[in-house]
Amino acid sequence: MRNQIVFLVHGKYALFTDPLTRMGGEKESYQIPTYESLVGVTSSIYWKPTLIWVIDQARVIKPIQMESKGTRPMDYNNSFKSNLSYVSYLRDVSYEVKAHFEFNKFRPDLSADWNENKHYELMKRSIRAGGRRDIFLGTRECQAYVEPLTGFGENPSAYDDIPEMNFGLMFHGFNYPDQTGNDQLDARFWKASMKHGVIDYPRPDACEFVRSNVRKMSAKDFNDHNFTYVDREMGDES
């Protein structure tokens, strides 16, 4: 697939949680990355509103390990004072990720930017550079790093010999207005599983469970003041 990338992302810690429960209190990471968190990683490597990233697969390289830490998050219900709470992070994580981009058909106003080859070339440069923005796994304090791979399955997985692991109902991601055409933010859920270390993520439009009406939201407008077409980024003014 011409618009597909494969990369390795790794870090000391990761925190993959349902963001609807992230305002305070004790937090515990899911055992595997959420679809939304990997969309965040690929978007930090390279993103424009012209594109929608689709995560095809992820491969868990290192054993799943948890570590609890005491933190002092802000208590937004008590005059913004800090509180002591414990967060259970994933420790020493590494994942191979396979993803591809599609042009956002809900943004016909940006159709002049639908140049697949130039986006692909910029994307490859961005992976080699370690991403255009900071990479993190789930939350900002979980700094991570990306490296290009020649192919998916390049590294041995700690779970190559385990036929299947099930993780129950899990947060998948958000349906954003500029990707659905609706002025509404929805949350998606799915029954997660892993086979021989590989997670096959369903596409957002094929997710089994959707929690609707998170809140009203409108798509952002883009124009010449806050958007640069890929032709200009590549130095082609024609």
Q: Is residue 38 part of a domain?
A: yes
Q: Is residue 189 part of a domain?
A: no
Q: If you average pLDDT over residues 210-225, what whole number do you get?
A: 80
Q: Is residue 108 part of a domain?
A: yes
Q: Is residue 223 part of a domain?
A: no
Q: Write the CATH number for 110.
A: 3.30.70.2660
Q: Which of 131-140, 198-207, 215-224, 226-235 has the lowest mean pLDDT?
A: 226-235
Domain range for 204 is 4-173+195-209
Q: Is residue 221 part of a domain?
A: no
Task: Please give the pLDDT value at position 76.
Answer: 59
Q: Is residue 235 part of a domain?
A: no
User: Would you place residue 23 in the very low, low, confident or very high pLDDT band (cuts 50, 70, 90)?
Assistant: low
Specify the number of domains making up the chain. 1
Q: Is residue 67 part of a domain?
A: yes
pTM: 0.89
Q: Is residue 216 part of a domain?
A: no
* pLDDT per residue as tens digits for the range 173-183: 999 998 888 88
Task: Give the 3-state secondary structure of the chain.
Answer: CCCEEEEEEEEEEECCCCHHHCCCCCEECCCCCCHHHHHHHHHHHCCCCCEEEEEEEEEECCCCCEEEEEECCEECCCCCEECCEEEEEEEEEEEEEEEEEEECCCCHHHHHHCCHHHHHHHHHHHHHCCCCCCCECCCCCCEEEEEECCCCCCCCCCCCCCCCEEEEEEEEEEECHHHHCCCEEEEEEEEEEEECCEEECCCHHHCCEEEEEEEECCCCCCCCCCCCCHHHHCCCCC
